[in-house]
Amino acid sequence: MQITAQELAAFIDGKVEGDPTISIHGPSKIEEGQPGTVSFLANQKYESYIYTSKASVILVEKDFQPAGDIHATLIRVENVYEKVAMLLNKFGELQGEEKVAEIHSSAVIDDSVQMDDSVSIGANTVLEKNAVIGKYTVVYPQVYIGSNVKIGSNCIIYPGVKIYKDCEIGSGCILHSNCVIGSDGFGFAPQSDGSYKKIAQLGNVILKDRVDVGSNAVIDRATMGSTVIEEGVKLDNLVQIAHNVVVGADTVIAAQSGIAGSTKIGKRVMMGGQVGIAGHLQVADEVKIQAQAGINSSVKEKGKAMFGTPAFAYRDFLRSYSIFKKLPALADRLRKIEKENNK
């Protein structure tokens, strides 16, 4: 596959600065750029590489001002990250092999399953009774799809995914290997003898359209009703979503984060890695939670930035940190003053 700088610029609404006819065949990191590839500069920490990179084409911000000579052809754009995402998707389409719809002979499919002729089902996959699969969805090998599960169109279900009974998956969703949708919520009633009795989990999980779920992530079914992941949510690997949680549209959650039962997360929330959120809380829209923060009370202010464990306002944390990191020195000074006063 070959494409010129001018053709790329037209696709991403960019302006070419240099040779518009130069041909490229794929992307590369700016520090590892090779002739025939396109790279990008979005973080100024990497600016030094733009002067030495061997990449043929480099995407830069519209107002980027170089501090030295650049040998590559530049394409100036608005929002480099957004355009890079577009390019990577385009390269994926051009380089990927067209998937031919087929049902592998080893797949176990109940006679009551409904699916279009455009659906692909991989080897050793199991589809239980009354499951419904939408058009152009691809189900890879060794997937389990339980009874009454509904999956929309244009989804990709990677190897090893498990979708328990009654769960609903929207259109355009991507479920990565070994994630589990609809396992039992963590519901146990304490008994008088100190033991715990399991509480039946009778609800389901609903994933709306364009949800991505990372490898080994788990979304528990509701005790009653539904655990709901709204449109456009992106979950990283090893994320845990407990029973009856609602995650608002276009929220992104990084790896190893966990949300306890019945908590409601707003729209466009950003959560770093290893964030923990206690149960029965509310987190407002557009809140930003830094990595390893612990949230044990509701965050009601839209767009608030949180950090620390337990988490509190980000700016307050930074001010506090500037003090408590000096506590050992302050303690030494205090002991010295007390010693002098006691003479």
Are the beta carbons of 267 and 286 closer than 8 angstroms? yes
pLDDT of the residue at 123 = 97
Are the beta carbons of 280 and 262 closer than 8 angstroms? yes
Rounded percentage of the chain residues whose pLDDT exceeds 90? 80
Stretch among 1-5, 42-46, 82-86 having the lowest mean pLDDT: 1-5
pLDDT of the residue at 89 = 79
pLDDT of the residue at 87 = 83
pLDDT of the residue at 311 = 79
Rounded percentage of the chain residues whose pLDDT exceeds 70? 97
Exposed, middle or buried by CB within 10 Å (0-12, 13-18, 19+), for 323? exposed
- Characterize the bridge pairing of strands 312-313 and 305-307: antiparallel
Which regions of the chain carry the CATH code 2.160.10.10?
Answer: 108-317
- Catalytic residue check, 243: yes
pLDDT of the residue at 100 = 66
Q: Is 92 helix (H, G, I), strand (E, B) or coil?
A: helix
Q: Tell me the average pLDDT across 203-209.
A: 98
Q: How far apart are CA 285 and CA 302, in angstroms?
A: 5
Q: Active site residue: 71, 104, 176, 243, which one?
A: 243
Band of the pLDDT at 247, cuts 50, 70, 90?
very high
Are the beta carbons of 315 and 301 closer than 8 angstroms? no
Report pTM: 0.78
Q: Tell me the average pLDDT across 120-134.
A: 97
Stretch among 171-180, 190-199, 288-297, 319-328 having the lowest mean pLDDT: 319-328
Which regions of the chain carry the CATH code 3.40.1390.10?
Answer: 3-95
Band of the pLDDT at 86, cuts 50, 70, 90?
confident
- What CATH number belongs to 108-317? 2.160.10.10
Band of the pLDDT at 93, cuts 50, 70, 90?
low
Amino acid at site 158: Y
Residue 311 structure tokens: 């988490």
First to last CA, the chain: 84
pLDDT of the residue at 313 = 85
Could you tell me the fold of the domain covering 3-95? Answer: 3.40.1390
Which one is predicted more confidently, 244 or 326? 244
Q: Tell me the average pLDDT across 27-32.
A: 92
